[in-house]
A = this chain, B = another copy of it.
Amino acid sequence: MALIVQKYGGTSVGTVERIQEVAKKLIQFQQQGHDLVVVVSAMSGETNRLLALANEVNRHPRGRELDVLLSTGEQVTIALLCMALEQAGVHANSYTGSQVRILTDNTHNKARIMEIDDNKIRADLKQGHIVVVAGFQGCDEHGNITTLGRGGSDTTAVALAAALKADECQIYTDVDGVYTTDPRVVKEARRLDQITFEEMLEMASLGAKVLQIRSVEFASKYNVPLRVLSSFTEGGGTLITAEDPKMEQALISGIAFNRDEAKVTIIGVPDHPGIASQILGPIAKENIEVDMIIQNTAHDSTTDFTFTVHRNDYQNALNILQNTAKELGAKEVIGDDNIAKVSVVGVGMRSHAGIASSMFDTLAKESINISMISTSEIKISVVIDEKYLELAVRALHDAFELEKI
Q: Hey, which bits of chain A sit against chain B, CB under 8 A?
A: 16, 19-20, 50, 53-54, 56-59, 61-62, 64-66, 68-69, 71-72, 75-76, 78-80, 82-84, 86-87, 93-94, 96, 98-99, 143-145
- Interface contact A79-B65, CB-CB below 8 Å: yes
Q: Would you give the shortest CB distance from A66 to chain B, in whole angstroms?
A: 7
- Interface contact B50-A66, CB-CB below 8 Å: no
The secondary structure that dominates the A interface is helix
Q: Would you give the shortest CB distance from A197 to chain B, in whole angstroms?
A: 34
- Interface contact B83-A76, CB-CB below 8 Å: no
Bound form: Cα–Cα A86–B145 in Å = 18
Bound form: Cα–Cα A47–B195 in Å = 45
- Interface contact A57-B143, CB-CB below 8 Å: no
Given A69-B76, A72-B76, 19 further pairs, Cβ under 8 A? A16-B56, A19-B57, A54-B79, A57-B84, A58-B86, A58-B87, A61-B83, A62-B83, A65-B82, A65-B86, A66-B79, A66-B83, A68-B75, A68-B78, A68-B82, A68-B94, A72-B72, A96-B145, A98-B98
Contacts of A87 in B (CB 8 A): 57-59
Bound form: Cα–Cα A54–B77 in Å = 10
Bound form: Cα–Cα A54–B79 in Å = 8
Partner of A93, one of B16, B58, B64, B83: B64
- Interface contact B53-A16, CB-CB below 8 Å: yes
- Interface contact B83-A96, CB-CB below 8 Å: no
Partner of A80, one of B20, B53, B75, B143: B53
- Given contact pairs A16-B57, A57-B20, A87-B58, A96 touches B76 in the complex (Cβ within 8 A): no
Name, among A50, A56, A144, the residue most crowded by chain B CB atoms within 10 Å (CB to CB): A56
Contacts of A99 in B (CB 8 A): 143-145
Bound form: Cα–Cα A363–B391 in Å = 90
Bound form: Cα–Cα A115–B3 in Å = 39
Bound form: Cα–Cα A256–B389 in Å = 74
Partner of A76, one of B50, B56, B61, B145: B50
